[in-house]
């Protein structure tokens, strides 16, 4: 019993709370990102994502565990690609590009809303003389995670969303070539994240967008 008491006293509950909130924030960003891919495809006539339960709030339908862990630890990551059948689209390449764009755009919109929520909360705390608490930091940190997910997925490397957006501007032959090597692009993505090769540029982009969104909502940071 004495051993359990010492173990309980030694636990860093503040660190556990921060980790739990970061995981919750990452789940929110990923679920919204993937659902918006699925809804965009469905709106353009492709029912594949709906049939495979990718319009669900269940995170298990969306999580790629390696990408999820990467997002929690590094701030950038990815999820399971939403299945899309281009044959359902009236204009296949454009439909694929819009479907791909829906995910990152949803993350940027979410970040803007979270920062707006943080500003309103900050005004309330200032008026009542209270110090920023858990909710304040959760909104801020989740906004940064959401920007990170959106920006990272805009990189033009298959299978990230940016490659599908870029491909819509390419001739059909070049488009087919790019999609053929999609599986090898995934290896490149993992290597980039593992080596931190793009982290400097991503961090600059994330911090720039965060400050811009703060200015848009009139929030001084």
Residue-wise pLDDT for 19-45, tens only, equals 899 999 999 999 999 999 999 999 999
* Structure-block tokens of residue 49: 């994502």
Residue in 17, 34, 182, 220 annotated catalytic: 34
Q: Is the pTM of this model over 0.85?
A: yes
pLDDT at 14: 63
For residue 146 the two structure tokens come to 């959401």
Q: Among candidates 93, 74, 99, 89, which has minimal Cα distance to 190?
A: 74
Distance CA 183, CA 159 (A): 7
Contact 39, 102 (CB under 8 A): yes
Q: Averaged over 151-174, what is the pLDDT?
A: 87
For residue 17, indicate whether it is catalytic.
no
Domain borders along the chain are 13-216
């Amino acid at each position: 019993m004495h051993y359990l008491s010492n173990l309980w006293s030694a636990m860093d509950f503040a660190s556990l709370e921060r980790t739990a909130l970061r995981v919750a924030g990452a789940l929110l960003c990923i679920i919204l990102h993937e659902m918006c891919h699925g809804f965009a495809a469905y709106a353009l006539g492709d029912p594949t994502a709906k049939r495979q339960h990718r319009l669900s709030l269940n995170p298990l339908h969306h999580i790629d565990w390696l990408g999820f862990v990467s997002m929690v630890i590094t701030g950038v990551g990815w999820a399971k690609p939403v299945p899309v059948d281009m044959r359902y689209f009236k204009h296949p390449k454009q439909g694929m590009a819009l479907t791909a764009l829906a995910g990152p755009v949803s993350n940027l919109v979410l970040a803007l809303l979270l920062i707006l929520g943080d500003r309103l909360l900050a005004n309330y705390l200032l008026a009542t003389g209270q110090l920023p608490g858990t909710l304040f930091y959760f909104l801020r940190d989740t906004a940064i995670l959401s920007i990170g997910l959106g920006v990272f997925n805009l990189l033009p490397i298959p299978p990230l969303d940016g490659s599908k957006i870029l491909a819509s501007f390419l001739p059909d032959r070049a488009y087919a070539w790019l999609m053929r090597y999609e599986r090898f692009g995934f290896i490149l993505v993992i290597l980039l994240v593992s080596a931190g090769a793009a982290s400097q540029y991503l961090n600059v982009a994330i911090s720039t967008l965060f400050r811009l969104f703060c200015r848009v909502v009139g929030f001084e940071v």
